[in-house]
Amino acid sequence: MRKYFYTDGVSKFGPFSKDELKSQQLKRSTKVWYYGLEKWTEMSEISDLNDIISTIPPEIKPLNVPTEKNIQETEPKPLDKTIPVYSKPKKSNLSKWIIGFAILIIISFIIFKLVQKQTEANLYKEIIANSYDGDVDFDIYVEKFYRDLELYGIFPKKPKTTIIKFSKLDQIDNTTHIHGLSLGHNDDNKIEIYINPSSWQQFTKPMRYFLMYHELAHDVLNLDDLDNKAINEGKLMYPEISSYEKKNMDDFIESFHALFEEHSKK
Amino acid sequence: MRFLILHIFCFLSLTVFSQTFSESDIKKLAEQVNKQIKGVDIGNGITAKGCLSIGRTLIYQYEVPGYWEAPNNIKEEIISNLKTAGAAKTYFLNNIDVDFYYYKGNSLAKKVSVKSNEFSTFNIELGEYVSIKDHPKAKEVNLKLKVPVGWDVKEGDRPNIVKKFTNEGNTYLILIKDNVTFFSRKQIREALQEDNFVKDFVQEASSFLKNPQFIDQSIVTIDTYPTVQFKVKGKMERSGLTFPIIMKCWVVFYEDKIIFLQAMGVDNSEFRALELLYTLITNSVIFPEQYN
């Protein structure tokens, strides 16, 4: 006697005799398989089961019918005789777990981004709150920076808005000592730089030029810091400017010339 | 005092001649003075015998009485008197040495020789440092240099002239201009190896002179900074008047600035006499920031 198996798309059930199959909760679209059948096939396509199909009312609305692909992937293995002859169909929770986990990740990511954005907004507010105009004319550095760029044939857009102020960056929460910050990075419509006054006071003249050209290179040329490696020591975009105590103006001059020359070739 | 009177007389004769004396001029001067002083009693039994010249040396001769003894400070007294009278400056500027011979009969009782440079009325001693730090026209350049003793320190009238030192119409000034960008000392030294670069630069710096004649130029170092030193003479026009000018200039390349240390005057022996002083001023320049 032919033994039938059917599947709900996730699990397989059977084997059943034709009579046993009648008593299962089947739909017209339920796919069945029996030994000799090449693949899982809808009941409606198996003429031998027409009498069962005629007893099943048509479906009112489409349900989550397993796809053919899924069915193929769950092709039943030959049955072991020790397997119980009958097992009740079980609802699988795996898909729910996967969906739930994905949602959890998405929600976590969104929350992380929101927190990050809020933190940045708070940091920005804190920098602004701590900023003030000192007696240093930072415009001189900007003018010289653009003058020197032009000599290398680099003509970046000169934004109308230029904000360069001191800000007590040491007082900002959860930060290590910062000498300067460029907030106009990747924003060609403004230059916005904040300089730590305690660094400025301690820095020598060459270090001040290193700092200002470094921040302007971030802001105007959108350049990133170099890696904090010995090979980059002495270069303008080296992040540890505080280690430049022994540098003189010649070091600064040759450093920015090298950077501008390299940038002009790009 | 008697020496003073005599030398005022001599000086009046000197001023008849042009400012640049040849040996021939000095000889003519000696002949003229000789006529004027020969046999003149200048007091205390001292009589002028005459005046002659050998090369660039004027020789005054006197007859002194037998009891006469030369004062210990006779040379200092002569120089002092000549400076007071104004003749010393002319001797100095015209490179004229002067000897004084004192005879007792046919015997030379005393000879006093004064070299032209001993008549110098210019004090080439430097005084205190003057700094231009934070000066509104200094363009952030911080340098200091010594002012000659007795010279005045004045503000420059023109836009790029930061300060000037003046004395009796002689001027040494500090002028600062922007360079096109920053240059390190190494970069400038490399550029200054190019003869054409130096030539063009010196010509540009002298462009205010008509028919400039370059006397000399060289590359030197002023307090570790590469410098072009040159001397040029030519003619300059001011308010319709044209006059001969000589200029000694040091052009210091400092970061993104060009500093001109410039001594300029009328092309005469006075300027040449002051060249040493100008060099001393320039050698006193210090850029303090490099030592911080």
Give the closest-approach CA distance of A182 to chain B in angstroms: 24
Residue B184: closest C-alpha in chain A: A250
Residue A220 pLDDT class (50, 70, 90 cuts): very high
Structure tokens belonging to residue A21: 């199959």
Q: Which residues pair with B253 in a beta bridge?
A: B258
Structure tokens belonging to residue B277: 């002083």
Integer CA distances (angstroms), B247 to B227, B242, B244, in order = 16, 15, 10
Query: Beta strands of chain A (E only): which ranges?
Result: 4-7, 12-16, 31-34, 41-42, 131-132, 161-167, 180-182, 190-195
Give the percent of chain B with pLDDT over 70: 93
Q: Are residues B214 and B173 in the same domain?
A: yes
What pLDDT is attached to residue B15?
45
A126 shares contact with chain B (CB less than 8 Å):
no
Q: Do B290 and A248 touch (CB under 8 A)?
A: yes
Integer CA distances (angstroms), A147 to A190, A209, A255, B161, B179, in order = 18, 14, 16, 23, 11
**Residues with Cβ < 8 Å from B80, sequence gap 6 or more?**
none
Range(s) of the domain holding residue B232: 126-291
Q: Are residues B165 and B286 in the same domain?
A: yes
Contacts A249 to B, Cβ<8 Å: 182, 184, 255, 290
What pLDDT is attached to residue A48?
83
What is the C-alpha separation between A56 and B205, in angstroms, rounded? Answer: 108
Please name the member of A147, A204, A250 whose beta carbon is closest to the beta carbon of B181.
A147
What pLDDT is attached to residue B11?
44
B223 pLDDT higher than 50: yes
Overall domain count for chain B: 2
Segment B91-146, tens digit of pLDDT? 888 889 999 999 999 999 999 999 988 888 777 889 999 999 999 999 999 999 99
Region A214-233: mean pLDDT is 94
Collect all residues from B whose CB is shorter than 8 A from any CB in A: 140, 180-187, 255-256, 289-290, 292
Please name the member of A151, A252, A254 whose beta carbon is closest to the beta carbon of B181.
A151
A75 pLDDT higher than 60: no
What is the C-alpha separation between B221 and B95, in angstroms, rounded? Answer: 31
What pLDDT is attached to residue A173?
62
- End position of a domain, from candidates B90, B119, B148: B119
Q: Do A253 and B182 touch (CB under 8 A)?
A: yes
**Residues with Cβ < 8 Å from B188, sequence gap 6 or more?**
B226, B253
Residue A206 pLDDT class (50, 70, 90 cuts): very high
Q: Highest mean pLDDT: which of A11-15, B227-231, B273-277?
A: B227-231
Integer CA distances (angstroms), B287 to A4, A235, B142, B233, B235, in order = 101, 25, 6, 29, 33
Region B189-199: mean pLDDT is 91
Residue A89 pLDDT class (50, 70, 90 cuts): low
Residue A60 pLDDT class (50, 70, 90 cuts): low
A95 pLDDT higher than 60: yes
A247 shares contact with chain B (CB less than 8 Å):
no
Give the closest-approach CA distance of A176 to chain B in angstroms: 28
**Look-up of token digits 């929770």:** A93
Q: Do A248 and B140 touch (CB under 8 A)?
A: no
What pLDDT is attached to residue A189?
87
Q: Are residues B140 and B265 in the same domain?
A: yes
Give the residue with greater pLDDT, A71 vs B37. Answer: B37
Q: Do B292 and A205 touch (CB under 8 A)?
A: yes
If DSSP codes are grouped into helix, strand and coil, which group holds residue A129? Answer: helix
Integer CA distances (angstroms), B103 to A204, B62, B106, B113, in order = 72, 6, 6, 15
Say how many residues make up chain B. 292
Instruction: Compute the half-sphere exposure of residue A252: CA atoms within 13 Å on the CB side of its CA.
Output: 24
A86 pLDDT higher than 60: no
What pLDDT is attached to residue A25?
83
Contacts A147 to B, Cβ<8 Å: 180-181
Bridge-based pairing of strands B97-104 and B57-63 is parallel
Residue A248: closest C-alpha in chain B: B290
Q: Are residues B16 and B90 in the same domain?
A: yes
Say how many residues make up chain A. 266
Residue A169 pLDDT class (50, 70, 90 cuts): confident
Structure tokens belonging to residue B177: 């201009």
CATH number at residue B223: 3.40.1000.10
- B245, B236 Cβ separation under 8 angstroms: yes
Decide if the complex's ipTM is over 0.90: no
Structure tokens belonging to residue A216: 């302007």
Handedness of CA B137, B143, B148, B149 (dihedral sign): positive
Among B181, B185, B252, B257, most A C-beta atoms within 10 A, so best to mutate, is B181
Q: Are residues B265 and B130 in the same domain?
A: yes
Q: Which segment of B14-28, B207-221, B276-290 scores lowest on mean pLDDT?
A: B14-28
A73 pLDDT higher than 70: no
Integer CA distances (angstroms), A164 to A126, A148, B23, B263, in order = 16, 19, 71, 42
Cis omega before residue A15 (within 30°)? yes
Q: Highest mean pLDDT: which of A79-88, A110-119, B77-86, B176-185?
A: B176-185
A58 pLDDT higher than 80: no
Q: Are residues B54 and B181 in the same domain?
A: no
Handedness of CA A237, A242, A243, A248 (dihedral sign): positive
- A29, A43 Cβ separation under 8 angstroms: yes
**Residues with Cβ < 8 Å from A72, sequence gap 6 or more?**
A39, A40
A205 shares contact with chain B (CB less than 8 Å):
yes
Residue B292: closest C-alpha in chain A: A204
Q: Do B182 and A148 touch (CB under 8 A)?
A: yes
Q: Are residues B152 and B7 in the same domain?
A: no
Segment B46-81, tens digit of pLDDT? 999 999 999 999 999 999 999 999 999 999 999 998
- End position of a domain, from candidates B119, B154, B179: B119
Q: Are residues B115 and B165 in the same domain?
A: no
Give the percent of chain A with pLDDT over 90: 41
CATH number at residue B62: 3.30.300.250
Structure tokens belonging to residue B245: 């000018």
Q: Do B290 and A256 touch (CB under 8 A)?
A: no
What is the C-alpha separation between B194 and B197, in angstroms, rounded? Answer: 5
- B160, B185 Cβ separation under 8 angstroms: no
- End position of a domain, from candidates B119, B151, B177: B119
3-state DSSP helix/strand/coil percent for chain A, to nearest 5? 45, 10, 45
Residue A79 pLDDT class (50, 70, 90 cuts): very low
Q: Are residues B106 and B160 in the same domain?
A: no
Q: Do A256 and B182 touch (CB under 8 A)?
A: yes
Q: Highest mean pLDDT: which of A108-112, A145-149, B232-236?
A: A145-149
What pLDDT is attached to residue A91?
57
Q: Which segment of A79-83, A120-124, A158-162, B240-244 scores lowest on mean pLDDT?
A: A79-83
Q: Are residues B272 and B146 in the same domain?
A: yes
What pLDDT is attached to residue A122?
78
Contacts B189 to A, Cβ<8 Å: none
Instruction: Compute the half-sphere exposure of residue A39: CA atoms within 13 Å on the CB side of its CA.
Output: 8
What pLDDT is attached to residue B20?
67
Task: Put the strands of the sheet holding B97-104 in their side by side order.
Answer: B41-43, B46-54, B57-63, B97-104, B107-114
Bridge-based pairing of strands B46-54 and B41-43 is antiparallel
Q: Are residues B71 and B143 in the same domain?
A: no
Contacts B180 to A, Cβ<8 Å: 147, 151
Among B184, B224, B253, most A C-beta atoms within 10 A, so best to mutate, is B184
Read off the pTM.
0.67
Residue A255: closest C-alpha in chain B: B184
B19 pLDDT higher than 60: no
Q: Do A250 and B184 touch (CB under 8 A)?
A: yes
Nearest to B210 by CA among B139, B268, B146, B267: B267
Mean pLDDT of chain B: 88
Region A92-105: mean pLDDT is 88
- A223, A230 Cβ separation under 8 angstroms: no
Contacts B133 to A, Cβ<8 Å: none
Contacts A250 to B, Cβ<8 Å: 184-186
B269 pLDDT higher than 80: no
Please name the member of B181, B184, B185 whose beta carbon is closest to the beta carbon of A148.
B181
What is the C-alpha separation between B292 and B285, in angstroms, rounded? Answer: 16
Q: Do A253 and B255 touch (CB under 8 A)?
A: yes
Q: Which secondary structure element, helix H or strand E, spans residue B32, and what is its range? A: helix B23-37
Q: Do B182 and A249 touch (CB under 8 A)?
A: yes
Segment B145-171, tens digit of pLDDT? 999 999 999 999 888 999 999 988 889
- B36, B5 Cβ separation under 8 angstroms: no
Residue B12 pLDDT class (50, 70, 90 cuts): very low
CB atoms within 10 A of CB A197: 19
What is the C-alpha separation between B168 and B265, in angstroms, rounded? Answer: 11
Q: Which residues pair with B214 in a beta bridge?
A: B232
Nearest to B233 by CA among B211, B260, B252: B211
Contacts B256 to A, Cβ<8 Å: 144
Q: Are residues B141 and B263 in the same domain?
A: yes
Handedness of CA A219, A220, A222, A224 (dihedral sign): negative
A160 shares contact with chain B (CB less than 8 Å):
no
